[in-house]
Amino acid sequence: MRIVVLTKPVPDPAAAAERLGPDNRLDRAASPAVINGNDEYVLEAALKLVEAHGGEVVLLSMAPATGPETMRKGLAMGAHRGVHVTDPALAGSDAWTTARVLAAALGEMEYDLVLAGFDTSDGTAGVVGAGVATLLKLPYLSSAAQIEPDPKAGTVRVRRISATGFDVLEAPMPALIVGTQLLGEPRYPSLKGIMGARSKEIATRSIADLGLDATGVGIAASRTEVASKRTPPQRGDAIVVRGSAEEAATAIVDLLTERRLL
Amino acid sequence: MAGIWVVADTNADGSLARIGAEVATLARTLAKAASADATGIVVGADPTGAATELATYLPRVIAVTDAAAADHAWAAIAAQRAAEVIDATGPTLVLTGAGPDGRDVAGTLMALLDGGVLVNATGVKWDGGEIVEMSVFGGRLVTTSHFVEGTAVRIITLRPNVVTAEAGASPGRVEGVTPKGELTLPAVKVVDRIEEASAAAPIEEARVIVAGGRGVGGTEGFELVGQIAEALGGAVGATRAAVDSGWIPYAQQIGQTGKIVKPRLYLALGISGAIQHKVGMQTAETVIAVNRDPDAPIADFADMIVIGDLFEVGKALLAQLKAKSG
């Protein structure tokens, strides 16, 4: 099986230092970059599928010039190689441009499955996967909790989370799947994996390589604009209750009564 | 302007989802402010029920009957059929819910109609143009955004519980439409639908949520959580850790990979308040936490933190609530 995993470098959410710059665009210098957390879950699923069925996992990322630094972690987890789409003209690209660029990159790759994470921690849009699938006319299977390909039949089954449980979806491959964290915890890279990642290939593609026009991407083509930003009002300090269970329960009931919640 | 359009979310039984009614109410408000027309779109194998319901909120509803929606993934079909009826000459606002279906519709429509997208809006106003409020960076920043000039199709997804659904002055008209042609995107077959046994009330709609985390310890612990929820007339929620442990179905999960809720009361039992959970519940009006650890992060965004054993406090609370109502 050939699986392409879409990955994105994002400001490390654990640092909680994400901010917008004076131009109201994401200030990438403010935080260290890491692989988007949800991408690691689909990468883990891809690695398990290739371990079971054989094949190759390729990381595909549209990212600034520093992209390969974050991609190394995915390679250390076990991905075989990477494709890094980078170009100064791509800075400030929105979800729609990102989808078009990734679709163009996929156009010159071979794959049975394309996997994408549920959303990214910086933009939280979660629409790029659907956009790519639509552009490439690939079957689109989203909110996946489980992925079961049948390479002989050339089909894939996905358990999609529904409002009341799960829907079992089935489609022919190639297909694009957006996964959730229910796929299972990502592995930590082993020391051997980290060492091996250094020599794995990361191919670089510019937008000209992909046959795209520089005026149709980046800030110039972005459809949205942040007009203002503010810090949300903080809750006042919490009332701290210590004491017996009985006293604590009384304090809760009193607050509920005061706020007319009973 | 070329109108304000709602792609309505429906429930598994074909009825209008609450978020669909909320989005429709927003569309009607915006249409009035923008002096534009608001139109609802319902796509389904049998859209009549939801369309009639949607027409209580909007002056005009288009019901598209597509038999394929019965046993195929809904969003791609809904987006294609919606794209056939939406006037995309622009500026055109397209509104839908911010749930898993809504985001799929938004992403597909973005590609079909060459549109811009703003997701997870926590408010949308009209002042000469759309002003879209969003909560970003795990709730640490609130932004307002708009679409740049020249963007014809402007797609916005709205979070649940941001708008209170209110019917219009008089019911609108429903127009039945048959699909214009073959679907151009591959339809993905639904080969099975699995219902997870869950007697619990849906959390998105709950006014009160009693939620349990790792500290609840197991299914037995969640029985107490359920009893307190019942006494308060609320629903049971959970953290990802509790869901992953198999103590409660995924449908009750709140947070980054679960649902975003906005109840009047959020009672958190044995929940530390990790950022992934916080983003799902931080806009609750009143937050009360019971936790052994006074330094748990939830203390920073709760109105009250009770330091103690959740079982002891929970049982005492349950007894007092019962005594009060009895």
Cα B237 from Cα B248, distance rounded (Å): 9
Cα B320 from Cα B302, distance rounded (Å): 22
- Where does the pLDDT of residue B224 fall: very low under 50, low under 70, confident under 90, or very high at 90 and above? very high
- Where does the pLDDT of residue B262 fall: very low under 50, low under 70, confident under 90, or very high at 90 and above? confident
The secondary element (H helix, E strand) that includes residue B44 is strand B38-44
Judged by CB atoms within 8 Å, which residues 155-174 of A form the interface with B? 157, 159-172
Compute φ and ψ for B106, nearest 5 degrees.
-60, -45
Select the residue of A170, A238, A243 nearest B191 (Cβ to Cβ). Answer: A170
| Interface touch B286/A255, C-beta < 8 Å | yes
> Does residue B90 belong to the interface with chain A, where contact is any CB pair within 8 Å?
no
SS3 A183: helix
Per the structure block, which two tokens stand in for B22? 């909320």
Q: What is the pLDDT of residues A156-196, one digit of tens each?
A: 999 998 877 889 999 999 999 999 888 988 999 999 999 99
Q: What is the pLDDT of residues B43-90, one digit of tens each?
A: 999 999 999 999 999 999 999 999 999 999 999 999 999 999 999 999
Cα A174 from Cα B129, distance rounded (Å): 41
Contacts of B110 in chain A (CB under 8 A): 95-96, 99, 127, 130-131, 134
Stronger pLDDT, B98 or A78, i.e. the higher one: A78
Is 70 exceeded by the pLDDT of residue B200? Answer: no
Contacts of B6 (CB under 8 A, 6+ apart): B20, B23, B24, B27, B38, B39, B40, B41, B54, B58, B94, B95, B96
Question: What average pLDDT score do residues B254-264 get?
Answer: 84
B139 φψ region: left (φ > 0), alpha (ψ -120 to 50), beta (else):
left
- Where does the pLDDT of residue A35 fall: very low under 50, low under 70, confident under 90, or very high at 90 and above? very high
The total number of residues shown for chain A amounts to 262
Contacts of B102 in chain A (CB under 8 A): none
B204, B19 in Cβ contact below 8 A?
A: yes
| Neighbour count for residue B43 (Cβ, 10 Å) | 30
CA B186 to centroid of chain Cα atoms: 27
Select the residue of A13, A161, A252 nearest B288 (Cβ to Cβ). Answer: A252
Is 90 exceeded by the pLDDT of residue A21? Answer: no
| Neighbour count for residue B242 (Cβ, 10 Å) | 28
The secondary element (H helix, E strand) that includes residue A10 is strand A9-11
Contacts of A225 (CB under 8 A, 6+ apart): A24, B145, B146, B147, B148
Q: What is the pLDDT of residues A93-143, one digit of tens each?
A: 999 999 999 999 999 999 999 999 998 888 778 999 999 999 999 999 999
A246, A253 in Cβ contact below 8 A?
A: no
SS3 content of chain A, % helix, strand, coil (to 5): 35, 30, 40
Note the helical H segments in A89-232.
Answer: 95-106, 128-136, 191-197
Is 80 exceeded by the pLDDT of residue B204? Answer: no
Query: Which pLDDT value is given to residue B202?
Result: 72
- Where does the pLDDT of residue A24 fall: very low under 50, low under 70, confident under 90, or very high at 90 and above? confident
SS3 B135: strand
Is 70 exceeded by the pLDDT of residue B197? Answer: no
| Interface touch A236/B303, C-beta < 8 Å | yes
Is 90 exceeded by the pLDDT of residue A212? Answer: yes
Check the CA dihedral A42-A47-A53-A57 and report its sign.
positive
Query: Which pLDDT value is given to residue B198?
Result: 55
| Interface touch A230/B142, C-beta < 8 Å | yes
Cα B110 from Cα A95, distance rounded (Å): 9
Cα B306 from Cα A252, distance rounded (Å): 8
The owner of tokens 């083509």 is A221
| Neighbour count for residue B132 (Cβ, 10 Å) | 25
Q: Give the whole-number percent of chain B exceeding pLDDT 70.
A: 98
Paired with A33 in beta bridges are A11
> Does residue B225 belong to the interface with chain A, where contact is any CB pair within 8 Å?
no
The secondary element (H helix, E strand) that includes residue A44 is helix A37-53
Select the residue of B143, B186, B264 nearest A139 (Cβ to Cβ). Answer: B186
Question: What average pLDDT score do residues B275-286 get?
Answer: 88
Q: What is the pLDDT of residues B2-56, one digit of tens each?
A: 999 999 999 988 999 989 999 999 999 999 999 999 999 999 999 999 999 999 9
Q: In what order do the strands lie in the sheet with B141-147?
A: A224-230, B141-147, B130-136, B116-126, B153-158, B92-97, B4-7, B38-44, B60-65, B173-177
Nearest to A21 by CA among A261, A253, A234, A219: A219
> Does residue B117 belong to the interface with chain A, where contact is any CB pair within 8 Å?
yes
Which residue does chain B place closest to A133, by CA atoms?
B108
> Does residue B290 belong to the interface with chain A, where contact is any CB pair within 8 Å?
yes
SS3 content of chain B, % helix, strand, coil (to 5): 35, 30, 35
Note the helical H segments in chain B.
Answer: 18-34, 48-54, 74-85, 100-113, 219-231, 240-244, 275-281, 310-325
Paired with A20 in beta bridges are A26
Cis before B47? omega within 30: no
B204, B18 in Cβ contact below 8 A?
A: yes
Per the structure block, which two tokens stand in for B183? 């679907």
Per the structure block, which two tokens stand in for B25? 């109410």
Cα A197 from Cα A189, distance rounded (Å): 10
Q: What is the pLDDT of residues B101-151, one digit of tens each?
A: 999 999 999 999 999 999 999 999 999 999 999 988 877 889 999 999 999
CA A177 to centroid of chain Cα atoms: 12
| Interface touch A140/B250, C-beta < 8 Å | no
Q: Give chain B's mean pLDDT.
A: 93
Query: Which pLDDT value is given to residue B201?
Result: 63
Select the residue of A127, A162, A168 nearest B110 (Cβ to Cβ). Answer: A127
Find the distance separating the first CA and the last CA of chain A, reported in whole Å. 57
Q: pTM of the predicted model, to two decimals?
A: 0.89
Cα B230 from Cα A11, distance rounded (Å): 41
Angle at which helix A128-136 crosses helix A95-106, to 10 degrees, equals: 40
Is 90 exceeded by the pLDDT of residue A31? Answer: no
> Does residue A252 belong to the interface with chain B, where contact is any CB pair within 8 Å?
yes
Query: Which pLDDT value is given to residue A199?
Result: 95
| Interface touch B146/A225, C-beta < 8 Å | yes
CA distances from residue A76 to A34, A47, A82, A83, B309 in whole angstroms, order as listed: 13, 11, 11, 15, 42
As a whole number of angstroms, the longest Cα–Cα distance in chain A is 71
Is 60 exceeded by the pLDDT of residue B199? Answer: no
Query: Which pLDDT value is given to residue B23?
Result: 98
Cα A234 from Cα A169, distance rounded (Å): 43
Nearest to B259 by CA among B139, B108, B100: B100
